[in-house]
Amino acid sequence: MSSDLTASNELWIDRDDIRQSKIVQRELTPLKEGEVRVAIDKFGLTSNNVSYAVTGASIGYWGYYPAEQNWVKVPVWGCADVVESNYDDVPVGERLYGFFPMASHADLLPGNIMGDQFTDTAVHRQQLPALYNQYRRTKAEPDFLTQMENERCLYFPLFITSYVISDYLIDNDFFGAEQVVIGSVSSKTGFGLAQILKQAENSSRKVIGVTSSANKDFVARLECCDQIVEYGNEQQVDASRPTAYVDMSGDLRLTQALHNHCGENLVESCIVGGTHWEEGGRPTELPGAKPRFFFAPSQIAKRDEDWGAGVVMAKAAESSAQIAKRVAAQTTIEWTRDAQSLQSLWLDILDNKVSGSRGQMVTLLSGN
Ligand SMILES: NC(=O)c1ccc[n+]([C@@H]2O[C@H](COP(=O)([O-])OP(=O)(O)OC[C@H]3O[C@@H](n4cnc5c(N)ncnc54)[C@H](OP(=O)(O)O)[C@@H]3O)[C@@H](O)[C@H]2O)c1
């Protein structure tokens, strides 16, 4: 790895029109008191990052790494080395995993230091969801994690969510449902959930995946669904059985179709994502359970109370590693290594040109 310590290569997104982006070479100014500077040599990019951009104002994702005027830095999950340090407990050479900008460099203000993690304590981050302020110190982590860096950037934030949703369903005895319908099941979060439900010893629920015709074969190859339904064919879902709907698509038409089809047998309607980010909208009165937004950090906080701090995340990380290994033969990992190519990739992801079967890893670090 080479790290040019004069400038950070970055991609900024227009908050008013997320198709617009600009490549920025930001001059690196002297590091402030107590800060560390990291060189980000890899990060993953999926529809989840599009959701960070779309919900940047409401959830706060734009606030972690402020840019300028209407430009925002969309966060990503990545790995980085400390290349400069004004904080003795986090020295040069430490490897970190966490929430970074689409950039080659970033500055962090470590605090609450523990053996395996610290918190970025910068004032502008204090009001934002706390989970994303934590950075893992990978030298203290189990070998299976350090050996799966790419998978960790690309899949773990999604498969951890899949695990937490499955735990939420189990915790609530599936709200009485006999089957689970997963919207946009070809997304990593979607097929991760399907994999967990299919393997779970404590769930005999039927798993129904809803997807586009383009992704149907990929989902079939994963062998994680008892039934696959194409968009537009929602009437193929057995409406006589109590049904839980977990939606990664955010597609209003699909939500309406499933609620109207299942009626009062739709006993849970859980909005997780918005892969169909231009097809959203607020549902008006619908039969069945009222759709509610699922925010993984809330269920994680509940389990930290129930089971002790960190237990749910450790279980979710192990589950993620298992799923990543299970799907390896059916998925690819592709690399993007410069800002111009990242600009194109960003548009491709926005425009549904990157199936969930394709994992996109990126580096903006020169010489990488
Ligand atoms: N609430 C939470 O805590 C939480 C946490 C993690 C993830 N999520 C959400 O889960 C969703 C899935 O994220 P991911 O990273 O797992 O996705 P991903 O793997 O990148 O998903 C790719 C799939 O999404 C669909 N898709 C993507 N772009 C599309 C477009 N423009 N129009 C129509 N379909 C499109 C396609 O699936 P189909 O053909 O099957 O529709 C495609 O195969 C995201 O919206 C993310 O925000 C939420």
Residue 134: give its domain's CATH number. 3.90.180.10
- Shared domain for 198 and 292, answered yes or no, is yes
- Shared domain for 131 and 197, answered yes or no, is no
Structural domains counted in the chain: 2
d(CA 64, CA 224): 36
SS3 294: coil
The ligand 1 atom at the shortest distance from the C-alpha of residue 46 is 20
- Shared domain for 178 and 288, answered yes or no, is yes
Asked whether residue 314 is assigned to any structural domain, the reply reads: no
Any idea what the CATH number is for the domain that residue 172 is in? 3.40.50.720
- Shared domain for 236 and 268, answered yes or no, is yes
Q: What strands, in cross-sheet order, belong to the sheet with 7-14?
A: 17-27, 7-14, 71-72
The ligand 1 atom at the shortest distance from the C-alpha of residue 212 is 39
pLDDT at 134: 95
18, 19, 43, 48: which to mutate for ligand 1, most atoms within 8 A of CB? 48
Asked whether residue 86 is assigned to any structural domain, the reply reads: yes
pLDDT at 4: 66
The ligand 1 atom at the shortest distance from the C-alpha of residue 55 is 47
- Shared domain for 352 and 274, answered yes or no, is no
Q: Which domain holds residue 116?
A: 7-141+331-362
The ligand 1 atom at the shortest distance from the C-alpha of residue 351 is 31
The ligand 1 site (C-beta within 6 Å) comprises 46-48, 51, 158, 161, 184-189, 211-212, 215, 248-249, 272-276, 294-296, 351-352, 355-356
Compute CA 95 distance to the chain's CA centroid, rounded to the nearest angstrom. Answer: 21
pLDDT at 281: 86
- How many whole angstroms from 353 Cα to the centroid of ligand 1? 12
- Shared domain for 74 and 184, answered yes or no, is no
- How many whole angstroms from 33 Cα to the centroid of ligand 1? 40
- Shared domain for 94 and 121, answered yes or no, is yes
Q: Tens-digit pLDDT profile for the chain (368 aa)?
A: 445 679 999 999 999 999 999 999 999 999 999 999 999 999 999 999 999 999 999 989 999 999 999 999 999 999 999 999 999 999 999 999 999 999 999 999 999 999 999 999 999 999 998 889 999 999 999 898 889 999 999 999 999 999 999 999 999 999 999 999 999 999 999 999 999 999 887 668 999 999 999 999 999 999 999 999 999 999 999 999 999 999 999 999 999 999 999 999 999 999 999 999 999 988 889 999 999 999 888 899 999 999 999 899 999 999 999 999 999 999 999 999 999 999 999 999 999 999 999 999 999 998 77
- Shared domain for 186 and 233, answered yes or no, is yes
pLDDT at 275: 96
Handedness of CA 178, 183, 187, 189 (dihedral sign): negative
Picking from 279, 297, 315, the residue at the C-terminal end of a domain is 297
- How many whole angstroms from 31 Cα to the centroid of ligand 1? 37
Q: Which tokens sit at 287?
A: 């039969």
Q: Which amino acid is at 206?
A: K
- Shared domain for 93 and 205, answered yes or no, is no
pTM: 0.96
pLDDT at 3: 57
| Residue owning the nearest CA to atom 31 of ligand 1 | 352
pLDDT at 351: 98
- How many whole angstroms from 84 Cα to the centroid of ligand 1? 36
The ligand 1 atom at the shortest distance from the C-alpha of residue 355 is 43
